[in-house]
Amino acid sequence: MELDLAAAELKAVLNRLRRAQGQISGVIRMIEEGRDCEEVVTQLAAASRALDRAGFAIIATGLQQCLTEVENGSRTPEDRDEMRGRLETLFLSLA
């Protein structure tokens, strides 16, 4: 399954991933500094949410592409059903 992200969608996903990358770096630094457990877990949870949101954005793009391709006639309803199953599996992997 190939996703064709538009420039705006790609930018949004990359921003979320960069945010998560910064948060993970912050968590590592906090652990190395011996920071409070609650602070570390709070920052780790924020990184996890950023990663989840990036994943959900990618899946939403896949769903939109699939629907558009069915409407254009470049995918059959059977293809759509297969794609739906694959996207559902991906969605559940993030849940």
pLDDT of residue 87: 76
This model's pTM is above 0.75 = no
Check pLDDT > 80 for residue 91: no
pLDDT score for 42: 94
Two tokens, residue 12: 């949004």
Q: In whole angstroms, give the CA distance from residue 55 to residue 91.
A: 8
Q: What is the pLDDT of residues 20-71, one digit of tens each?
A: 999 999 999 999 999 999 999 999 999 999 898 888 888 888 777 766 776 7
pLDDT classification of 83: cutoffs 50, 70, 90? confident
Cα–Cα distance measured from residue 51 to residue 44, given in angstroms and rounded to the nearest whole number: 11
